[in-house]
Amino acid sequence: MTINGFSTALSGTRQPCVPPPTRSVGSINTRYPSVDAHAASQAALLLCLDPANSAPASQLRLENRSIQHLSPEPTANALSKEERDQIWVMEPTITYDEIRKVNRVVVRKNEKVWAEGHHIDDTIVKNTPKAFIADGTDTEFYDEEGNFICGIIYNIDVKEGAIGELGSLAQATTKRGAGGGLLPDIDKIKQNLESDGATNISISGGWAISYIASGKKRKTTKANSHHSTVYGVSGRRGDGDIAPSKRAGLTVVKPYLELLTDCFKKSFPAQYLDHDKKMRKCQGHVYYQENSVFSTMAVNRHEIDKEGAVKKQSRAALHTDKGHHKDGFEVMLTLKKNIEGGDEFLPEYGILLKLQDRSVTCFKGTAIQHDVTAIGRKDLSKQANRVTALGFMLKLSDAMLTSAKERATSAEAALPPTETNVMPQIGMATHAHSIQGHETPLPAATVLPEPMDPYAFSQEMANLRQALTESQHALQILSLQKELLESRLQNEQLINAELRRQLSLSSQGASPAVGGAFLSMMSPGANTTTTTTSLSDQESRRLKHSRSDCEDADVVVLQSPAKRLRTEKF
């Protein structure tokens, strides 16, 4: 008998014949995988395989068998404790901000060296501890000194069809630097260029090779192609003007720049103020796009067709952003359709940001290494798309800084000369012009206030929250005092009604003793020792209840505002 070409004949002993291993080091033979001889014999024993006799093994044989040698080996996707400790060096501290509705996570930077141009091993991503993952809950990460690392918010309101509108703007480019990933066989590419007569060959980190081809004057760069296009101020023009070919695309992305600015201002206010303050200090705000605090937007697209082929590539390898302003923050909108993965991983801190559809992230890409995780499809029968729109401030060249100062000076000179009268009593300024001897105030030009320091802003917000709490408490006290006065008024009305009733009875000759008692209390010089008869039990209880309410109300209003106010007596 033969199985897969191997004989099952026995030679003297009744042990099953095991096929020899056929896997060599460094390769895998999928038809005949490597089999450990001892493990195979134990498996045959457990399964009662006997080529010469198909009868089941005896009960004693089944009871005495051992499976200790068949325990599974550790999975290849697990990290050792040492490897985990090198990446996630501390247990994070997690708090929840009730006011802003966001998780605040404090982590520590590891000392591991991460090579740019590579993709982070998927095993590391899959073993990220839950505390280091932002997935569906608005989250911000800080280091132990309180410095902001990154943040993410979810479920942003984006118009229908945004993924197609933005995705159509992404064109192929080879100018992504380390983010484009390593060039395969770059040494072989260099040899081929040399043999073709190319000169001035230089390799940039393994992800790009530049050269001047034979017979050419300009340098050419060869790198992996990505679908990524920049709109707005590109920096390739010395004066910072926008290339005519990009103006149409800029019109499309402007609403998204406004959207990102709005998210930036509302969800990351301290970072927004810090960004704007530093841009204004270096005159970079001259290059802001309209209603935005960004000069530029980069649109990236990754597309997988129904057959699983990558039609448009934009998965960025590990990198930092070299062409962005070092003091500016980057805010990115992510749109996904049938995408599995494609998240943001920050290996220096071990942070994994799950980029869900319509999520927005904020971080400094110039200071923090970041990588995009593997991108796949959820439904393998459909195509998939992933589009990101990144708003950022371009790195300003010397020529752009000079141009910015000139533009700022020209803008100030273009303003009409006015005399400003400050009105401190109401905190306003008016421009006065003399018209027939009268001063007519004209609307003042809008002047943006000087941005506050992030720490001062946080303190101001805390003071405002405290003032709001105290105001709410004072309002509660006033409300209770109002109820107290209304209760007193009701009590007075009851007492007056009772007095009128007693007076009416006295005038009619009924209950003369009672009426006499009230008249004697109200008449001046009357004998207060006049013998009186007690009120009826019902009337006594009513007056006693009214008096008790007044006394209880007095107790409530005298309580300290810091104590809990009890309103059930009302």
Angle between helices 512-522 and 454-507 (to 10 degrees): 120
Does 370 have pLDDT greater than 80?
yes
193 three-state secondary structure = helix
H-assigned helices in 230-301? 247-267, 269-281
Spell out where 71-167 has E strands: 93-97, 102-106, 133-134, 139-142, 148-153
CA 339 – CA 539 distance, rounded (Å)? 80
Does 533 have pLDDT greater than 50?
no
Residue 315: the pLDDT is 97
pLDDT tens, residue by residue, 460-493: 777 787 788 888 878 888 888 888 888 888 888 8
Mean pLDDT of 261-269: 96
Which residue ranges make up each domain of the chain?
114-129+152-178+227-409, 182-223
Q: List, in order, residues 6 or more apart from 247 with CB less than 8 Å away.
A: none
Higher pLDDT, 505 or 16: 505
Residue 556: the pLDDT is 39
pLDDT tens, residue by residue, 307-333: 999 999 999 999 999 999 999 999 999
DSSP-derived secondary structure for 528-542: TT---PPPPHHHHHH
Higher pLDDT, 432 or 517: 517
Q: Are 231 and 297 in contact (CB under 8 A)?
A: yes
pLDDT tens, residue by residue, 430-453: 333 333 344 444 444 444 455 555
Does 565 have pLDDT greater than 60?
no
Distance, CA of 48 to chain centre: 58
Q: What does DSSP say about strands 371-372 and 220-223: parallel, antiparallel, or unpaired?
A: unpaired
Does 16 have pLDDT greater than 70?
no
Which has the closest alpha carbon to 362: 346, 378, 339, 347? 346
Least confident window among 137-141, 216-220, 280-284, 421-425 = 421-425
CA 312 – CA 227 distance, rounded (Å)? 6
385 three-state secondary structure = strand
Least confident window among 83-92, 197-206, 212-221, 383-392 = 212-221
CA 395 – CA 398 distance, rounded (Å)? 10
pLDDT tens, residue by residue, 235-258: 665 555 666 667 889 999 999 999
Mean pLDDT of 92-105: 94
- Which one of 30-39, 162-171, 516-525 scores highest in mean pLDDT? 162-171
Higher pLDDT, 480 or 152: 152
Cα dihedral 415/416/419/425 (nearest 10) = -50
Which has the closest alpha carbon to 287: 378, 402, 450? 402
Least confident window among 150-159, 278-287, 412-421 = 412-421
The conformation of residue 381, written as its DSSP 8-state character, comes to: T
Residue 426: the pLDDT is 31
Mean pLDDT of 269-290: 93
Least confident window among 103-107, 201-205, 303-307, 524-528 = 524-528
Q: Which amino acid is at 414?
A: A
Q: Are 299 and 170 in contact (CB under 8 A)?
A: yes
Spell out where 436-494 has E strands: 438-442
Tokens for 506, please give them: 């006295």
* Predicted TM-score (pTM) of this structure: 0.62
CA 333 – CA 294 distance, rounded (Å)? 14
Does 537 have pLDDT greater than 90?
no
Higher pLDDT, 499 or 360: 360
- Which one of 9-13, 124-128, 205-209 scores highest in mean pLDDT? 124-128
- Which one of 266-270, 393-397, 550-554 scores highest in mean pLDDT? 266-270
**CATH topology assigned to domain 114-129+152-178+227-409:** Double-stranded beta-helix (3.60.130)
443 three-state secondary structure = coil
**Nearest-5° angle of CA 322, CA 323, CA 325?**
100
Q: How confident is the model at residue 386 (pLDDT cuts 50, 70, 90)?
A: very high
Which has the closest alpha carbon to 392: 313, 454, 300, 266? 300
